[in-house]
Chains A and B, each alone.
Chain A
Amino acid sequence: MAVIEAKNVSKVYNPDKIPVRAVDDLSLKIEEGEFTAVVGPSGCGKTTLLNMIGGLDHPTDGRVTVGGEAIDQLTEAQLTDFRMHNIGFVFQSYNLIPVLTAKENVEFILLLQHVPKQQREDRAMELLRKMGLEEQADRRPSELSGGQQQRVAVARALASKPKFILADEPTANLDSHSTEALLDLMAKMNQEEKVTFIFSTHDQRVIEKARRIVTLEDGRILKDESR
């Protein structure tokens, strides 16, 4: 069953001045449990596509549905709720809250969902344990390495058991050892938590781990290969 479906989606920036067609009549289905990499050169539309799938941006044309729900029809508040309950985000620069500990960062999204304290703590510790960060639970981001911070970010993205995780260049700031460790963990989470992962990346190591690779060029799908 398709978790995400983008149908004839286009995104044009500056339509009235100098139009830039970031995504051009693109159609894509992502099935549940996929571990997909969206690849392509800079400016090919990877991030724009992920933003539209993630409900952060609206397509100029076409439709994006998640779990059968057309997200471009949702209001601002509904989209916020939609993101909170359905999507986990992993950012290139980790984007942890610097004044919260690793555990509190993971708990934060559960707090937004009004999950009881004990359940929040249990879930946060469970994920940190899986990420190998149990001992760093009470440390703040500034006390963690880049790799550890990104693992906390993945734990945070997984905390609310989202339908899928969108990761925009998750390994761009990591060394090869940390990249390897992070990818192994994400692959493990993909298996264990049955969470769909979609990456945008340039990183060959990520591409090698992906089970499906969607290659974009000029806002269109150039190649879509599964392995």
Chain B
Amino acid sequence: MIFSLAWRNVWRSRKRSLVVIGAMIVGVWSLIFIISFYNSFYVGFSNNGVQYEYSHLQIHHPDYLTDPNINWRVQDLDQVSARLERMESVAASSYRQKIPGMIASAKTSAGVEIYGVDTEQEAATTLLSTLVVDGAYFEGITRNPILVSRKIANKLKLKIRSKVVLTFQDLDQEITAASFRVAGIFESKSPRINEGVVYVRQSDSERLIGGNGIHEVAILLDDAEDMDEVKHALVGVTPSTVRTYRDIAPEFSLMEQSSATTQRTLTVIIMLALLFGIVNTMLMAVLERTREIGMLRSIGMHRGKVFRMILVETLTLGAIAGPVGLALGYITVQWLGERGLDLSRYSEALQEYGYDAIFYPEIENLTYFGLMITVLITAFVGSIYPAIKAIRINPLEALRKL
């Protein structure tokens, strides 16, 4: 009957209870929306980083990291290659030559990093082949084709089939130059690649630098969860440095941490707001029932039971609001997760930071469970002060008010 009494007491002041329940529902819903939106930011940023720029893992000669010189090539490449082929979790890998150099058109020149790639490997490892917005992916030009970004093309006033000259040092430290024709213009999601990377065929870059060493192995996995496992497996194969994309670009970890911190902070702020609402509501409920609680105490209701009654009433508010807020949040996330949240009006600014214009909010199932627990804990904490007030009611003083 305590539960039945608590349930009926909740609805004794229907409007007041509905207001606090409504506030809790809105709080839980908005928290889910914000968390899922933050997740979409992070996941989108992270996916773009993996798909367009870093892949999951990269291997470099240890000295290449401090001095990106073409002489620092990945060691024991055959063993690395053999190991990668045996690993089921590896979806694709791209073996790249990376040569610092200059690109020059008839109008101007710019410093770039020349990626000599196996076109099939690169297409399987990154989304480069899908990013070509003008021309074709290494097609249409038979001799020395090159892919340049839209940004470089604009800067150097390049069009498809425009001629450019790449200048760089070969393995003998001699300055060498070769002319290329633009086969395709791409738009990457990576600001760094848009800014200063051009792609040529590896057969061409090998011929021009006078050697076939590989400076970077990029590895794409089927599941990012396997990243550390694959990394450890490769560390035993080559003395070269194996790094995850998080090791390479600390901004991913930083963003993940700041996203988690922001989510936690928002959760605390929203729950604090709810806490004050709950305390206020329950305090009013207790003060309104001073006489009744005094009567209950005088006929033999122990303080513990009075405390429990107020606690159950408050938890009932949370138990109603929590699932409704979660359900609304779940529906919202599912709906937006399928359709996406279109922020294309800010697409230029977002692109500058490596984001897509459309975000797909997502949230882990465990987060719903965690939020439900958080709501109940908030309700529990919110019940303590009113419950203490209730058990401190002196039955005699309460009865004198009769």
Contacts and interface: CB of A to CB of B under 8 A. Distances in A.
A114 B291 CA distance: 24
Interface string A99-113: 110001001110111
A2 interface: no
Residue from B2, B298, B299 whose CB has the most chain A CB atoms within 10 Å: B299
Contacts of B295: 89, 91, 95
Contact of B297 (A80, A107, A156): A80
Contacts of B291: 93, 95
A156 B299 CA distance: 10
A84 B300 contact: yes
Contacts of B395: 56
Contact of A97 (B292, B297, B396): B292
Interface string B1-30: 110010011011000000000000000000
B298 A111 contact: no
B1 A111 contact: yes
B1 A104 contact: yes
A9 B396 CA distance: 18
Contacts of B296: 97
Interface residues of B, number: 23
Contacts of A89: 295, 298-299
Residue from B9, B292, B399 whose CB has the most chain A CB atoms within 10 Å: B399
Interface string A30-74: 000000000000000000000100101100000000000000000
Contact of B8 (A56, A100, A113): A100
A146 B300 CA distance: 24
A54 B395 CA distance: 11
Given A54-B298, A77-B302, A104-B1, A98 B12 contact: yes
Interface string B295-310: 1111111110100000
Residue from A91, A104, A113 whose CB has the most chain B CB atoms within 10 Å: A91
Given A92-B402, A93-B402, A99-B8, A108 B298 contact: no
Given A95-B402, A98-B12, A100-B8, A83 B396 contact: no
Contacts of B2: 111
Nearest to A82: B300
A85 interface: yes
A120 to B, nearest CB: 9
Given A98-B12, A99-B8, A91 B399 contact: yes
Contacts of B300: 80-81, 83-85, 109, 112-113
B1 A91 contact: no
A84 B395 CA distance: 13
Contacts of B298: 54, 56, 83, 89
Residue from A54, A56, A100, A156 whose CB has the most chain B CB atoms within 10 Å: A56
A91 B402 contact: yes
Given A51-B396, A89-B299, A99 B9 contact: yes
B402 A108 contact: no
B299 A83 contact: yes
B5 A99 contact: yes
Interface in A111-158: 111-113, 156
Contacts of B9: 99
Contacts of A97: 5, 292, 296
A172 B242 CA distance: 90
B275 to A, nearest CB: 26
Contacts of A93: 291, 402
Contacts of A92: 402
Interface in B91-126: none
B305 A112 contact: yes
B301 A80 contact: yes
A65 B242 CA distance: 86
Contacts of B301: 80, 84, 112
A84 B396 contact: no
A80 B395 CA distance: 10
A113 B1 CA distance: 12
Nearest to B294: A95
Given A80-B300, A95-B292, A112-B301, A56 B396 contact: yes
Contacts of A108: 1, 299
Residue from A76, A81, A95, A109 whose CB has the most chain B CB atoms within 10 Å: A95
10 contacts: A56-B298, A77-B303, A91-B399, A91-B402, A97-B296, A98-B292, A99-B5, A99-B8, A99-B11, A99-B12
Interface of A: 51, 54, 56-57, 76-77, 80-81, 83-85, 89, 91-93, 95, 97-100, 104, 107-109, 111-113, 156, 168
Given A80-B297, A99-B11, 15 more contacts: A56-B298, A56-B396, A83-B298, A84-B300, A89-B298, A91-B402, A93-B291, A95-B292, A95-B402, A99-B9, A99-B12, A104-B1, A108-B1, A109-B300, A112-B301
